């Protein structure tokens, strides 16, 4: 049987791009864009950036599975997740400046809802470690108010939802070696080298 | 629950085909946009086992009815389109010949043909969307296809 609809395009890329942009604009207007995301290139690989209406909620490394990151945002924040680059433009620009050496601190609204309790206290302290400096896990534990919680600091850094912007890469082992990093140890060394320059 | 972006990836193209076939080229993108904005709003409450495609087609059907009514309100009488559409064989001829043929069908027949033959929904689900019995949906689709064969597929290149 002849397919009546065979002349109707199965995929119309121009229309698709137009309609997605229109959907994002309407969703933003109506307060339905709960999670906007985009990816940016960087010297340590592609980064996925996601923001709620409150602020930046997640920075994910290339080695983290993109679909898994988006699925966990859908579960933890809202399934109303759309690729919507505009909301991430300021942080994308600041990351670019950071990687080219022209920026030492980030100035964008943050949404820390993915970190709770002590982990959140650790993240709050991370923002105070200056560019180019490092602290040991034990020093961070003391600064966050629980000197014995060294392992918990390690967990808080390993699960930091906003790496780079909240600089967990500046937390290193007391023997001076860089230690684990969500983005991989190579990425951590690259960042520490960049900031030492 | 899947991120809504994946719903757009998976079903955006088929919903655009549905909108184009049901409301025509001029209003299709408005209908698609209204459909996905409504779907985005309702999405968090959608049951986990829901048939997402049928759900989207149901929303698209309501938006198509809205768009058709709005068009009727602002309609200005125009000259009748040519009686018999002739297929040009161009891949883009859907917005000429195919739409000319679809536009001549009663709304219910056009909807039934699109939801069953384009989307692949069973007649029972088509009936739930357009209203009426499963048999009525089957008849509407059959009558619609018969009319399309006569007006559109007649003389089509083999």
pLDDT tens-digit series, residues A2-13: 588 988 989 999
Q: Do A76 and A156 fall within a single domain?
A: no
pLDDT at res. B124: 97
Q: Do A128 and A85 fall within a single domain?
A: no
pLDDT at res. B70: 85
Q: Do A93 and A136 fall within a single domain?
A: no
Q: How far apart are CA A35 and CA B132, in angstroms?
A: 40
Say if A163 falls within a structural domain: yes
Q: Do A95 and A15 fall within a single domain?
A: yes
Q: How confident is the model at residue A47 (pLDDT cuts 50, 70, 90)?
A: very high
Say if A105 falls within a structural domain: no
Q: Do A129 and A72 fall within a single domain?
A: no
B31 pLDDT above the threshold of 60: yes
Work out the minimum CA distance from A126 to partner chain B, whole angstroms: 30
B73 pLDDT above the threshold of 90: no
3-state SS track over chain B: CCCHHHHHHHHHHHHHHHHHHHHCCCCHHHHHHHHHHHHHHHHHHCCCCCCHHHHHHHHHHHHHHHHHHHHHHHCCCCCCCCCCCCCCCCCCHHHCHHHHHHHCCCHHHHHHHHHHHHHCCCHHHHHHHHCCCHHHHHHHHHHHHHHHHHHHHCCCCC
Q: Do A19 and A94 fall within a single domain?
A: yes
Q: What is the mean pLDDT of residues B130-157?
A: 89
Q: Do A8 and A85 fall within a single domain?
A: yes
Q: Best of B2, B4, B28 to disrupt the A interface by mutation (most A CBs within 10 Å)?
A: B4
A58 pLDDT above the threshold of 60: yes
Domain end residue (candidates: A69, A99, A129): A99
Domain limits for position A157: 117-196
Nearest to A16 among B2, B12, B114 (CB): B12
CATH (domain of A39): 3.30.160
pLDDT at res. B157: 53
Confirm whether A157 is a catalytic residue. Answer: no
Q: How far apart are CA A111 and CA A166, in angstroms?
A: 12
Count contacts between A and B (CB, < 8 Å).
102
Question: B43 and A79 in contact by Cβ < 8 A?
Answer: yes
Whether the predicted interface score ipTM is above 0.85: yes
pLDDT at res. A7: 86
Work out the minimum CA distance from A157 to partner chain B, whole angstroms: 26
Nearest to B91 among A7, A78, A80 (CB): A7
pLDDT at res. A81: 98
Q: How many domains does chain A have?
A: 2
Q: How confident is the model at residue B79 (pLDDT cuts 50, 70, 90)?
A: low
Q: How far apart are CA A126 and CA A105, in angstroms?
A: 12
B97 pLDDT above the threshold of 90: no
Say if A167 falls within a structural domain: yes
Q: Do A82 and A8 fall within a single domain?
A: yes
**Per-residue model confidence as pLDDT tens digits over A129-140:** 999 999 999 999
Average model confidence (pLDDT) across chain A? 94
- Could you count the other beta carbons within 10 Å of the beta carbon of residue A196? 9
Say if A106 falls within a structural domain: no
> Quick one: DSSP state of residue A151?
H
Residue B142 contacts A, CB cutoff 8 Å: no
CATH (domain of A185): 1.10.10.10
Say if A109 falls within a structural domain: no
Domain end residue (candidates: A49, A71, A99): A99
**Per-residue model confidence as pLDDT tens digits over A17-46:** 999 999 999 999 999 999 999 999 999 999
Q: How confident is the model at residue A1 (pLDDT cuts 50, 70, 90)?
A: very low
User: How far from A42 is each of A11, A107, B5, B101, B128, CA to CA, in Å?
Assistant: 32, 19, 24, 52, 50
Q: Do A15 and A93 fall within a single domain?
A: yes
Q: Do A126 and A93 fall within a single domain?
A: no
Say if A134 falls within a structural domain: yes
Residue A83 contacts B, CB cutoff 8 Å: yes
Highest-scoring range by mean pLDDT, A165-179, B48-62, B67-81:
B48-62
B4 pLDDT above the threshold of 60: yes
**Per-residue model confidence as pLDDT tens digits over A91-111:** 999 999 999 999 999 999 999
pLDDT at res. B158: 45
Q: What is the mean pLDDT of residues B54-64?
A: 97
Q: Do A126 and A89 fall within a single domain?
A: no
Say if A110 falls within a structural domain: no
Say if A30 falls within a structural domain: yes
Q: Do A95 and A141 fall within a single domain?
A: no
Q: How confident is the model at residue B51 (pLDDT cuts 50, 70, 90)?
A: very high
């Amino acid at each position: 049987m002849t397919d009546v609809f065979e002349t109707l395009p199965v995929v119309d890329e121009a229309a698709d791009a137009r309609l997605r942009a229109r959907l994002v604009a309407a969703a933003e207007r109506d307060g339905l864009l709960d999670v906007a995301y985009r990816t940016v290139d960087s010297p340590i690989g592609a980064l996925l950036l996601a923001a709620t209406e409150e602020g930046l909620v997640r920075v994910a490394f290339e080695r983290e599975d993109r679909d898994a990151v988006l699925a966990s945002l859908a579960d933890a924040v809202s399934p109303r997740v759309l690729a919507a680059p505009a909301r991430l433009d300021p942080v994308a620009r600041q990351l670019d400046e950071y990687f080219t050496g022209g920026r030492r601190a980030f100035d964008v609204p943050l949404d820390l809802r993915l970190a709770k309790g002590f982990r959140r206290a650790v993240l709050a302290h991370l923002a105070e470690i200056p560019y180019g400096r490092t602290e040991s896990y034990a020093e961070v534990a003391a600064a966050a108010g629980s000197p014995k919680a060294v392992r918990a600091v390690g967990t808080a850094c390993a699960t930091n939802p906003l790496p780079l912007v909240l600089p967990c890469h500046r937390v290193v082992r007391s023997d001076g070696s860089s230690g684990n990093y969500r983005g991989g140890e190579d990425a951590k060394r690259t960042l520490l080298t960049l900031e030492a320059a | 629950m899947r991120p809504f972006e994946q719903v757009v990836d998976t079903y955006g193209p088929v919903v655009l085909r549905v909108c184009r076939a049901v409301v025509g080229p001029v209003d299709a993108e408005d209908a698609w946009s209204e459909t996905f904005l409504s779907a985005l709003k309702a999405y968090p409450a959608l049951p986990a086992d829901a048939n997402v495609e049928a759900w989207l087609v149901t929303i698209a059907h309501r938006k198509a009815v809205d768009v058709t009514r709005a068009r009727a309100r602002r309609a200005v009488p125009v000259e009748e389109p040519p009686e018999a559409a002739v297929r040009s064989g161009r891949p883009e001829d859907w917005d000429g010949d195919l739409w000319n043929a679809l536009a001549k069908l009663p709304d219910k027949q056009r909807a039934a043909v699109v939801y069953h033959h384009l989307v692949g929904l069973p007649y029972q689900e088509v009936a739930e969307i357009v209203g009426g019995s499963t048999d009525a949906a089957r008849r509407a689709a059959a009558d619609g296809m018969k009319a399309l064969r006569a007006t559109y597929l007649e003389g089509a290149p083999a």
